[in-house]
Chain A
């Protein structure tokens, strides 16, 4: 959707290792978002970006950092992965940060931390 590519699509890693997930978009959307999805919790916002180098925390930001050096790329980093961060991670984009502007989602990254 909206030319959003997440990489990798699947990753298994060990506790304590750093992990970086990448979101790449081709639509030149200004706003980008990272969510995690866990059973019983729906999707929860981790961090979002409202422009290059402009980011802010979401609902569940502890243990995560983000960077956006180019409009098209939004990186999510787990500095020291923990088992509680095992989840499916979704990236989304939108043209505006208004609730009448739908968000467009990638197909997710399934991350398992052993």
Chain B
């Protein structure tokens, strides 16, 4: 499994864009990059996944450079309800996920 490194915490204000960068230097050729979100007292929730370039959905965007050694999750115009822990994962072929400590994003009014 590829090891990932992401910031422990980030603070933001409502309406701002939040960008969380995850490093995964030893990503394998067939690995996907997946981000999950977790609110207190809930299980993680899948938010976005990508293999290369850019992926966008109704919640977030994921930017992946050509070398795939890092990725950036972008949350546009955050609100208080976006306060959560965000996990970056790079999966193995048998899908034994490895969740690190994640990035705690705190959005303030």
Contact flag A40-B101 (CB < 8 Å), given A1-B43, A90-B43? yes
Query: Is A71 interfacial (CB 8 A cutoff)?
Result: no
Q: Which residues on the B side are within 8 Å of A45 (C-beta)? A: 96-98
Looking at A14-22, A62-70, A73-81, A105-113, the stretch in contact with chain B turns out to be A105-113
Task: List B residues 8-44 near A (Cβ within 8 Å).
Answer: 31-32, 34, 41-44
Task: List A residues 28-84 near B (Cβ within 8 Å).
Answer: 31, 33, 35, 40-45, 48, 58-59
Give the complex CA separation of A58 and B99 in angstroms: 13
Q: Which residues on the A side are within 8 Å of B96 (C-beta)? A: 45, 48, 58-59
Q: Closest approach, in angstroms, between the C-beta of B25 and any C-beta of chain A?
A: 17
Q: Which residues on the A side are within 8 Å of B62 (C-beta)? A: none
**Please, what's the 1-or-0 string for B63-106, where 1 marks a CB less than 8 Å from any CB in chain A?**
00000000000000000000000010111111111111110000
Flag if A42 contacts B42 (CB, 8 Å).
no
Flag if B93 contacts A1 (CB, 8 Å).
no
Q: Which residues on the A side are within 8 Å of B100 (C-beta)? A: 42
B: interface residue count bin: 20 to 34
Q: Closest approach, in angstroms, between the C-beta of B75 and any C-beta of chain A?
A: 18
Flag if A99 contacts B43 (CB, 8 Å).
no
Q: Closest approach, in angstroms, between the C-beta of A2 and any C-beta of chain B?
A: 10
Give the complex CA separation of A100 and B68 in angstroms: 16
Give the complex CA separation of A8 and B49 in angstroms: 31
Give the complex CA separation of A5 and B51 in angstroms: 31
Give the complex CA separation of A12 and B91 in angstroms: 34
Give the complex CA separation of A51 and B95 in angstroms: 14
Q: Closest approach, in angstroms, between the C-beta of B59 and any C-beta of chain A?
A: 13
Highest count of chain B CB atoms <10 Å: which of A4, A43, A101:
A43
Flag if A92 contacts B43 (CB, 8 Å).
yes
Q: Which residues on the B side are within 8 Å of A101 (C-beta)? A: 95
Shortest Cβ distance from A102 into B: residue:
B46
Contact flag A107-B90 (CB < 8 Å), given A40-B101, A102-B34, A102-B49? no
